[in-house]
Amino acid sequence: MSRKPFIAGNWKMNMTAKSGAELIAALAPLVKDANCDVALCVPAILIPEMTKAAAGTNIAIGAENVHWAKNGAYTGEISAEMLKEYGVKYAIIGHSERRQYFGETDEGVNKRTLAALENGITPIVCVGETLSERENGTTEEVIARQLEKGLQGVEDIKKVVIAYEPVWAIGTGKTATDGQAQETIAFIRKKIGELFCPMCAQKVIIQYGGSMNAGNCKGLMAQPDIDGGLIGGASLKLDFATIVNYDK
């Protein structure tokens, strides 16, 4: 079954309004003929300016996180309704750095996912194992739990993007081999089939999010179950265009 690939950048806590707009201006002509969907998920404070910078291009702007509440006493948080007002199309949810540094849980991931969907924002739900979990042979057990708890109550799984990001490969320069990435993402698709339906699982976009870069993107994207990438460091430079144009 044909799935349109999706390459998304995750700027993390990088860029300013000026440098971000300059990068988008440089990237736009390089990715305008891409055969995949393209997005940049940027810090919340940059969303208004980056939305302006990307206007008229095929680059969608996404958020790096979203809170589950519509409003309330949640100092420092951003609601889905706020993001929606700026035309945000995607929100990264449950990134390993959010789990590791800010204590986000599978239950929180679930609530954030449902809030995004309720507001027409596509959640990019991140799952993945640590190095010790991989070495202990519990990769599938960990990811199955993250999927079961994180996707509970989702009515249409086709509206969710899954990003497999082996924690041991994020920001370390290490990357799963093409075979390792394919094997785990195939498991994720199988698990989604069990949780929802096999046909639905064949329509879900599953990205690889562990240090995909200009040098390894072709091999990873050639795998049958890998539908794109959630790109960290490489999305901060023009290398991102090479990844987007992996098939050229």
| pLDDT per residue as tens digits for the range 1-29 | 589 999 999 999 999 999 999 999 999 99
The dihedral through the CA atoms of 215, 38, 155, 203 has a sign that is: negative
- Token digits for 54? 């990307």
Residues whose CB falls within 8 Å of the CB of residue 97, separated by 6 or more in sequence, listed in order: 12, 170
Asked whether residue 173 carries a pLDDT value surpassing 70, the answer given is: no
pLDDT at 52: 98
Q: Residue 188 corresponds to which amino acid?
A: I
Catalytic residue among 64, 67, 95, 104: 95
Distance between CA 77 and CA 85 in Å, rounded?
A: 15
Distance between CA 80 and CA 234 in Å, rounded?
A: 27
Q: Residue 144 corresponds to which amino acid?
A: A
The dihedral through the CA atoms of 133, 136, 137, 141 has a sign that is: negative
Identify the band that residue 217 occupies on the pLDDT scale cut at 50, 70 and 90: very high
- What CATH code is assigned to 28-85+104-126+139-241? 3.20.20.70
Beta bridge partners of 124: 92, 161
pLDDT tens-digit readout, 80-115: 999 999 999 999 999 999 999 999 999 999 999 999
Q: Is 140 a catalytic site residue?
A: no
Catalytic residue among 64, 104, 129, 165: 165
Q: Is 95 a catalytic site residue?
A: yes
pLDDT at 19: 98
